[in-house]
Structure 1
Amino acid sequence: MRDEEIIELYFKRDERAIEETDNKYGDYCASIADKILKNELDVEECLDDTYLRVWNVIPPTRPEIFRIFIGKITRNLAFDRYEKFHAKKRGGGNIEEVLDELQECIPANHNVEQSILANELSSIINDFVKNLPEKEALIFVGRYFYTEDISAIGKRLGMTNNNVSVTLNRIRAKLQKRLLKEGYLAS
């Protein structure tokens, strides 16, 4: 079924929308959640939460690219779930490693002003990624959206682990420079 048809089922409040979403994107969403949660039961619960969230936001929202829309919801719910269950345990996990890598160039949300500016920051980062060369964008999104291991990215793109790491360092430096220019980081 085409995405437009699935979205129309949501607008008609037809419960088949969830079934069709699962048929078309269940494996994709499970893959996203599994890279973050690493637990089959948590992944299943995350998928259930994803479908409920999609049901609750469509309508009124009409996503332009349904795959990205549902993938982002899954990713955010998986991060929330991970954070909830690992709040007291720091270190040793891929999520902590990914977040630590970005910490130097992404400002923390410690106050109301930062929370208000989060949408603008998100737009700047999206623009930054769109303007990266394709291979760099794939590396950045693979690491920081899908939380892929460096070795998985290297294997997928035919690169050595060291080459991926060096590329990520360079991309983070470019991002940091952009955020300094935009006034999101103090120099």
Structure 2
Amino acid sequence: MEDHVIVEMYWRRNPEAIRETAKAYGPYCKTIARNILHDARDAEECVNDTWLGTWNAIPENRPTLLAPFLGKITRNLAFNRYKSARAEKRGGGEFPLVLEELSECASANDTVQTLEAAELGQAVSRFLYTLPERDCNVFLRRYWFGEPLAKIAGRYGMRENSVKTCLYRSREKLRQYLEKEEVL
């Protein structure tokens, strides 16, 4: 079923919209949640919360592209669940590494958390268009989907060290781009 039809079903408050969304985007959202949470049950709960969040958000918003809209809701819910689960205990996983890697793009006086989120998001989106396609895909796989380096390497037929180098160079380009755009 096409996105605009599903969105229209949400708009008309048709409960079938949730079933159609789960059928079309369930695996996509589960991948995002699982890469952040590393727990199948938590990821499943997060995805179910995504459907509720979508149900509540669509009457106010009418997204033209459903996948990024759902991905953003899933990521935010997964990050919140991750932070909540780690509040009492500190754990490993890819997410702390991903944040540490991205923090290199911020200057010493600023942190990723204190930057204006909307401005930073727009600048990063513009930056991604400056990268070659493979570098952009590797960057997104790591920093949007939270995929481990080994999985990215396998997906693109690269060595893990090549992925690290690609990401390092992209982060350096991002830092320079953000400085040039005066975001940092």
Q: Structure 1 CA distance, aligned partners of 2:50 and 2:17?
A: 13
Equivalent pairs: percent with the same residue?
45
Give the alignment's TM-score, normalised by structure 2.
Answer: 0.93
Are residues 1:11 and 2:15 paired? Answer: no
1:115-146: CA deviation from partner (whole Å, max 9, x where unpaired): xx210111000110122110000000000000
List per-residue Cα deviations over 1:50-91 (Å, max 9, x = no partner): 011101111121112111111121112111111111134345
| Counterpart-to-counterpart distance in 2, 1:138 and 1:123 | 17
Counterpart in the other structure of 2:136? 137
- Paired residues of 1:36 and 1:147 also in contact (CA < 8 A): yes
Cα RMSD (Å) of the superposition? Answer: 1.3
The equivalent of 1:49 in structure 2 is 49
TM-score between both structures, scaled by the size of structure 1: 0.91
Secondary structure of 2:183's aligned partner:
coil
Q: Distance in 2 between matches of 1:170 and 1:91?
A: 28
- Aligned to 1:96, what secondary structure does the other structure show? helix
Is this contact kept in 2: 1:150–1:161, CA < 8 A?
yes
* Contact kept in structure 2, 1:91 and 1:97, CA below 8 Å: no
Tell me if structure 1 keeps the 8 A contact 2:6–2:21.
yes
**Structure 2 counterpart of 1:39:** 39
Distance 1:79 1:88 in 2: 15
Give the distance between the partners of 2:112 and 2:135, measured in 1 at CA. 24
- Correspondence for 2:118: 119
Structure 1's unaligned 5+ residue stretches are: none
Does the CA-based 8 Å contact 2:38-2:93 persist in structure 1?
no
Q: Which amino acid aligns with 1:174?
A: K
TM superposition shift of 1:43: 1.1
**Number of aligned residue pairs:** 180
Q: Which amino acid aligns with 2:112?
A: A
Aligned to 1:84: 84
Question: Deviations for 1:147-167, whole angstroms, at most 9, x for unmatched residues?
Answer: 011111010001000100001
